[in-house]
Structure 1
């Protein structure tokens, strides 16, 4: 995750670590698109946040977590989305700040629930009982003697110039 999105990540981590994410509900699902979770609006950390500008992460595939931008500027910290597949159309409408590390099978089950065809509301919302933050350990950087040269560095540079993600096509 990019440092520019640190504020949003921090707010989300506060929700999880403080237990305030417990009781949030997955309330809406658009098939093949996303599942929406709403956090109780009385929660302390689910607040309006000014939008962080800079390089943006992209909605590259299933499990990407983002929150919507507000029309008047800023982002809504009381709702977040989990993508069910790549959604580049949301790149300018939502801010990506994470990815589901484990438990994606639960999101996939929710995506098969029945919903209202007019507003995509789930007939049976799913309540979050527990949220866990996993801080993945960083692997030590290899010494220069064991480092592998980057094959296709030109390919990477071309992708950056085109503005496409290096992860495109890797998601199933």
Structure 2
């Protein structure tokens, strides 16, 4: 318990004071702004990392690399998914993260329904880093298995217009939609 309390205090000290959301400007097949309310009470360490990356501009010009009809749109690979950088590669997008450490899972009772934002990870529950996904529809199989970090409160029409993947496992082929600017709101 003490270790979790210390981790929570450290995460709050490292991040902005109680950031409440993200405004994500999206361009491509989808065009517009999506607002996400961040859920610090459910996932304080994940929210601290997301807001730190957003404040640094790490999410600006990052593509949606994996988009599955009726399921979700995934983005946030700041290593290989950031257009205009030397490392950018649509083939590698989805395999990278940030320079920060992976995060321990912060699972909750929050259900995965349309508009819920969760952290992407590998098979290890403690491997979330920078990538996240936005749900198009309910997926109860994800409940308690992936960390919920937020909810879309406006712009779900923009989310629903994001270019769908047609490649293996929902990989986006051709020109991807992109988060042109991600801003922390208070």
TM-score class, shorter-chain normalisation, is 0.5 to 0.7
- Quote the offset at 1:114 in angstroms: 4.8
Q: How does 1:4-83 map to 2 (within 5 A)?
A: 4-41=42-79, 43-45=98-100, 47-52=101-106, 55-59=108-112, 61-83=113-135
| Alpha-carbon spacing, 1:80–1:114, altered in 2? closer, same or farther (3 Å) | closer
Structure 1 unpaired stretches of 5+: 136-172
* 1:104-162, Cα deviation, whole Å (9 max, x unpaired): 2221111xx35325321112212211012233xxxxxxxxxxxxxxxxxxxxxxxxxxx
Q: Secondary structure at the match of 2:53?
A: helix
CA RMSD of aligned residues (A): 2.2
Which has the higher Rg, Structure 1 or Structure 2? 1
Q: Secondary structure at the match of 1:39?
A: coil
Q: Aligned residue pairs: how many? A: 130
What corresponds to 2:178 in structure 1?
127
| Alpha-carbon spacing, 1:95–1:114, altered in 2? closer, same or farther (3 Å) | closer
Rounded Cα–Cα distance in structure 2 between residues aligned with 1:76 and 1:37: 13
TM-score by length of 2: 0.61
- Quote the offset at 1:44 in angstroms: 3.3
Structure 2 unpaired stretches of 5+: 1-38, 80-96
TM-score by length of 1: 0.65
- Quote the offset at 1:98 in angstroms: 0.5
Q: Does 1:92 align with 2:130?
A: no
Structure 1 moving runs of 4+ over 4 Å = none
